[in-house]
Structure 1
Amino acid sequence: MSTSTNITKRAYLHDAIDKELLAILRADGRASVSKLATMLNISRGTVQNRLDRLVSSGAILGFTVRAHDELETDVVKAMMMIEVVGKSTNQVIQKLRGIPQLTKLHTTNGNWDLVAEIRASDLQEFDRVLSDVRTIDGVLNSETSILLRSV
């Protein structure tokens, strides 16, 4: 998947501390700067500077809440595999990024070119998302599986 966006980001080389910082934030996106500094054994100012650089470089795209699956019983979750025509992958990706119910988008190998994670509030919205994706110029084929439960 292309990482280019309409916003120009500054280049920033990521080191082992940045990678560890990102790993901690993936597990606890609400960790305070003080907690991060203690866990990384660096100063709070250094943590804040690194966070600022990670955000401005585009390495961190945003901060979000991950709710426990038991709290999201009314959410329709699915995985959609997408086949793209020829060299239109970048154009298709840009269109897919405009659909908010597609929470993640991955390139892949094999029969499918892209895999999209879908979260919809109900089946009607889910059906609309499927239709929206399938009508994008460059989408040749798709297959979707609704996720029933996590095991």
Structure 2
Amino acid sequence: MAVDELDTRILRLLLEQPRTSVREYARILGVARGTLQARLDRLERDGVITGTGPTLSPTALGHPVLAFVHIEVTQGHLEEVGDALATVPEIIEAFSITGGGDLLTRVAARDNGHLEDVIQQLNRLPGVVRTRTEVALRERVPHRILPLVEAVGRAASAERR
């Protein structure tokens, strides 16, 4: 899906001012409300915009320890283990990966003891061979998407020239 300059401006506003109304977005952008709504609908339909909910902090929820747990899985059990991971509330994300392991999970825990309990729970899942854990010390680049949006918009503008 091609993202043009207006799409980029819309996405920037959504990221920077997520609680603003569509009418106000249209006023800021200098476009008709119907034009903006059509663009938003297309961006959602094309999967560019995937949600509108708030971003929550595991730390503020009492889970300040962040760890990345690599999971090695018995061949043929990736789906089964993936489904089991979805039942562990401390797992924030899980991905199939290449390299050293089969799955990579992001885990939030209350403290190191709680993290150990979660890891032991993962090790007991049928199909899990072993785990390897890395604890995050400090976030250096917070989750972000705006720089990518802007780069895509610049590339689309350059292609049209």
CA gap of 1:75–1:139, structure 2 versus 1, over 3 A, is same
- Aligned with 2:108: secondary structure? strand
TM-score w.r.t. the length of structure 1 is 0.64
Moved more, 108-117 or 30-39: 30-39
- Aligned with 1:149: secondary structure? coil
The corresponding residue for 1:139 is 128
Q: After the TM superposition, which segments of 4 or more aligned residues of structure 1 sit over 3 Å from their partners?
A: 17-29, 35-39, 50-54, 71-74
Which aligned pairs between 1:61-140 and structure 2 lie closer than 5 A? 63-67=53-57, 75-140=64-129
CA distance in 1, matches of 2:91, 2:109: 9
Identity %: 20
The corresponding residue for 2:50 is 60
TM-score w.r.t. the length of structure 2 is 0.61
- Aligned with 2:129: secondary structure? strand
CA distance in 2, matches of 1:45, 1:135: 49
CA distance in 2, matches of 1:44, 1:21: 11
CA distance in 2, matches of 1:21, 1:90: 39
CA distance in 2, matches of 1:148, 1:44: 42
Match of 2:41 among 37, 41, 49: 49
The corresponding residue for 1:11 is none
The corresponding residue for 2:2 is 16
Q: CA deviation at 1:128?
A: 2.2
CA distance in 2, matches of 1:63, 1:112: 32
CA gap of 1:96–1:148, structure 2 versus 1, over 3 A, is same
CA gap of 1:72–1:50, structure 2 versus 1, over 3 A, is same
CA gap of 1:64–1:128, structure 2 versus 1, over 3 A, is farther
> Which has the higher Rg, Structure 1 or Structure 2?
2
Letter in 1 for 2:50: I
- Aligned with 1:82: secondary structure? strand
CA gap of 1:104–1:85, structure 2 versus 1, over 3 A, is same
Report the structure, 1 or 2, having the larger helix content: 2
- Aligned with 2:119: secondary structure? helix
CA distance in 2, matches of 1:145, 1:115: 11
5+ residue gaps, structure 1, are: 1-14
- Aligned with 1:141: secondary structure? strand
Q: Is the 8 A contact 1:120 1:126 kept in 2?
A: yes
> What RMSD over aligned residues (CA atoms) do the two structures have, in Å?
3.8
